[in-house]
Amino acid sequence: MDQPSQHDPHAPPPGVAEPESRAGLRGAPEGLSIAGVAEQAGVSVATVSRVLNGHPNVRPATRDRVLAAVAASGYRVNELARNLRTAESRLLLTMVPDVGNPFYAEVIRGIDSVARQHGYFMLLCDTGADPGRERSYFDLLRRRRADGAICLDPATVQQALAEESNALPWVACCEFDSSVGVPYVGIDNYRAAGDAVRHLLARGHRRIALINSDDHYLYAQQRQRGYLDALLDAGITPDERWRLNVNSLDYEAGASAAASLMTHAKPPSAVFAVSDTLAIGVIAGLRSVGKRVPDDVAVAGFDDISLAAQIDPPLTTIAQPMRELGETAARLLLQRLANPTGDVPGVLLPHRLVVRKSA
């Protein structure tokens, strides 16, 4: 009972992370090393290391002496040294196109929570979906600053990554190309988009526009195919002028896309935007040109960010399990790290149509 079995060396060592006396902290010399603690405790550095890492083979009395010295001196392990010695950084790199997007923010939280649970920290990098930045961040893996990476960037840039470094431990999240051969987690974008469009069709709409994101996202292509096929299946010939691609998921992008859509003589009666942020912008843009939602134009979004339920009118959208997406990605990566040669699966998580007032 007083002897920890099976110790995780990256959990806070017993006695070390506990609140210690202020005096101890005050006295903490800057350059105190394990050798200093060993001396104070009258043992060898090896023993201190053992105690710090929770190894079982230490006599309780010795352990206490070491712990006392640690507490008294305010010693903290130098993880720079530990990292070199163990050849791991305990850092997980997360590359995301836009931290500011609420969708990504939530995915990130999922990643972070699982990472921390396993003694890893998250190095978050905002790539702006720029291949150059992506590459340079990815290089952190080779330089050993991160043990593994999670990539949410466009499949086009993921392919480049895969080509030159299939062996490096990384996984794809949300955006993925199942053919590149890295583990991935995401949803069935084709079906999800179809579900959204079929909902619009069921509401009686025939003129349905698509506001899509940048085409080098594979998910954009998949959602577009889902949209087209759903239309075709309903006997509707898609109107090319009603398919817009925007190069950012900002509210503004959605707003101006919507406004331009409404300049047509016989404009669409419904809009499907592939992101809630876009859809919220669409609603604002529609309002700015005097259109009411959903009376004049219905709007459906994608993601179900928390804001979707709060705007006027509340947004009908496809819910993605954002947190789970992130959590799963982190688990897949951890799995790959633990067993570099083992096969790691691709996993598809379920989506869900959430019907609110906007469509």
Going by C-alpha positions, the residue among 315, 253, 259 that lies closest to residue 288 is: 259
61 binds, among DNA, a copy of itself, none (CB under 5 to 8 A by kind): DNA
In the region spanning residues 66 to 85, those forming contacts with DNA, defined by CB under 7 A, are 77-78, 80-82, 84-85
Rounded to a whole number of angstroms, the minimum distance from the CB of residue 143 to a copy of itself is: 5
In the region spanning residues 8 to 37, those forming contacts with a copy of itself, defined by CB under 8 A, are 12, 17, 22, 25
CA-to-CA dists, residue 175 to 26, 145, 164, 230, 318, angstroms: 49, 24, 19, 22, 16
Distance (Å, rounded) from C-alpha 332 to C-alpha 328?
6
Per CB under 7 A, the segment of 44-52, 93-101, 190-198, 327-335 that binds DNA is 44-52
Task: Return the amino acid letter for 9.
Answer: P
255 binds, among DNA, a copy of itself, none (CB under 5 to 8 A by kind): a copy of itself
The pair of three-digit structure tokens given for residue 133, joined into one six-digit string? 């930045």
Task: Say whether residue 336 binds DNA (CB under 7 A).
Answer: no
Site string for a copy of itself, 81-120 (x = CB under 8 A): x-xx--x-x-x-------xx-x--xx-xx--x--------
The pair of three-digit structure tokens given for residue 274, joined into one six-digit string? 């592939």
Give the residue, chosen from 312, 339, 352, 355, that forms a contact with a copy of itself under the rule CB under 8 A.
Answer: 312
Task: Say whether residue 59 binds DNA (CB under 7 A).
Answer: yes
Q: What angle do CA 325, 327, 332 make, to 5 degrees?
A: 95
The pair of three-digit structure tokens given for residue 151, joined into one six-digit string? 């990539």
CA-to-CA dists, residue 197 to 133, 201, 359, angstroms: 35, 6, 10
329 binds, among DNA, a copy of itself, none (CB under 5 to 8 A by kind): none
Give the residue, chosen from 33, 53, 159, 165, that forms a contact with a copy of itself under the rule CB under 8 A.
Answer: 165
Task: Say whether residue 57 binds DNA (CB under 7 A).
Answer: yes
The pair of three-digit structure tokens given for residue 168, joined into one six-digit string? 């490096």
Distance (Å, rounded) from C-alpha 270 to C-alpha 264?
13
DSSP of 118-179: TT-EEEEEE-TT-HHHHHHHHHHHHTTS-SEEEE-S-HHHHHHHHHH-TTS-EEEESS--TT
Give the residue, chosen from 15, 20, 28, 33, that forms a contact with DNA under the rule CB under 7 A.
Answer: 33
Site string for a copy of itself, 253-292 (x = CB under 8 A): --x------------------------xx-xx--x-----
Going by C-alpha positions, the residue among 169, 170, 95, 174 that lies closest to residue 134 is: 95
Rounded to a whole number of angstroms, the minimum distance from the CB of residue 145 to DNA is: 12
Per CB under 7 A, the segment of 32-40, 235-243, 266-274, 319-327 that binds DNA is 32-40
Asked if 351 contacts 319 with a C-beta cutoff of 8 angstroms, the reply is yes
Per CB under 7 A, the segment of 34-42, 94-102, 179-187, 226-234 that binds DNA is 34-42
Report the interface residues with DNA, using CB under 7 A: 9, 31, 33-35, 42-47, 49-50, 52-53, 56-59, 61-63, 77-78, 80-82, 84-87
